[in-house]
Copies of this chain bind each other. A is one copy, B any other.
């Protein structure tokens, strides 16, 4: 399912193609985040327009609302949300550990109360696969345990062990499903998730254990959760040295442009992050200098586009002065126009990096 077209001679960077039931994804790829079944303020046709090849949706959110059974009845997540290209869904683990209340982790799974309505839920490795099978995700993730940063070594090691055990159970569930609902669908693509907090030996051990189970692709979780960038890069370096080179690697929840550029050089292929969309809703636009608030007084009479080099609808048609006005006037259109630009900025960045790898520059 993954083909490497070009490997850098200067770094671990590579250019590849990821084949999924809903089409091909050119890597390195950035996945806009459609938390609740929509990339905030965007429509599917606009995602297509800016060059999106794959989006990420959150299992935790969609499981709680509208529920995986409803999505199954709708004909799957692609049909429900009107997006016919690939969808990767996460395991829900990260959200359970960051959003849900009163969670209780045991070897069987994790119990928690919903942040939406306070209802009680119990997610197990099997359940998480059943949910994602109902979605019809192109790439799904096994339940994992995310630890906060910083985290004591004992706690990190326990989470690692549980994550490995759950990965093993998930693989066996896929191969020999106990749950009837899974077997009705085609065998889905399940990635393994590497954890291990910021401990070098734990990261190495987790990567070895997960790689030994053998998955068609790997996700690296628990990074970009507050640790310094160098530490994140250090952990990633260890992990990509262990993971099989011929399989795709998803660095979950990362990040700012500099995080992504650095991670590509360390061998990561897939990225997802709410930064471009969230910053847009808070009024910031992105370019290679970083983020800038459109609300600044200096843009009051700035009748030039956010980025004259950018080919997005926003930059082709509107000025900073206008978007600033819309933002101060609390118009939703401001958030939309900024989201469109920020996502297109990420897409163009991925395209340029890919070209640089192919040209032997990275």
- Measured between alpha carbons, how far is A331 from B333 in the docked complex, in Å? 14
- Measured between alpha carbons, how far is A303 from B82 in the docked complex, in Å? 12
Asked if A70 and B301 make an inter-chain contact with CB atoms under 8 angstroms apart, the answer reads: yes
A-side interface residues, number (CB < 8 Å) = 38
Chain B residues whose CB sits within 8 angstroms of the CB of A332 once the complex forms: 40-41, 332, 335-336
Task: Type the 1/0 row for A189-232, where 1 means its CB is closer than 8 Å to any CB of B.
Answer: 00000000000000000000000000000000000000000000
- Measured between alpha carbons, how far is A44 from B321 in the docked complex, in Å? 17
Asked if B321 and A45 make an inter-chain contact with CB atoms under 8 angstroms apart, the answer reads: no
> How many copies of this protein are present in the complex?
2
Partner-contacting stretch, out of A153-161, A264-272, A322-330: A322-330
Chain B residues whose CB sits within 8 angstroms of the CB of A70 once the complex forms: 300-301, 321, 325
Is A240 an interface position by the 8 A CB rule? Answer: no
Asked if B42 and A333 make an inter-chain contact with CB atoms under 8 angstroms apart, the answer reads: yes
A84 to chain B, nearest CB (A): 10
Task: Type the 1/0 row for A31-52, where 1 means its CB is closer than 8 Å to any CB of B.
Answer: 0000011101111110000000
CB contact list, A79-107 vs B, under 8 A: 80-82
- Measured between alpha carbons, how far is A75 from B321 in the docked complex, in Å? 12
- Measured between alpha carbons, how far is A331 from B332 in the docked complex, in Å? 11
Task: Type the 1/0 row for A44-87, where 1 means its CB is closer than 8 Å to any CB of B.
Answer: 11000000000000000100011000100111000011100000
Q: Which A residues form the contact surface with B (CB < 8 A)?
A: 36-38, 40-45, 61, 65-66, 70, 73-75, 80-82, 300-301, 303, 313, 317-319, 321-322, 325-326, 328-329, 331-333, 335-337
Q: A66-B300, A75-B303 are in contact. List 6 more A-B contacts (CB 8 A).
A: A37-B322, A38-B333, A66-B328, A70-B300, A74-B321, A82-B322
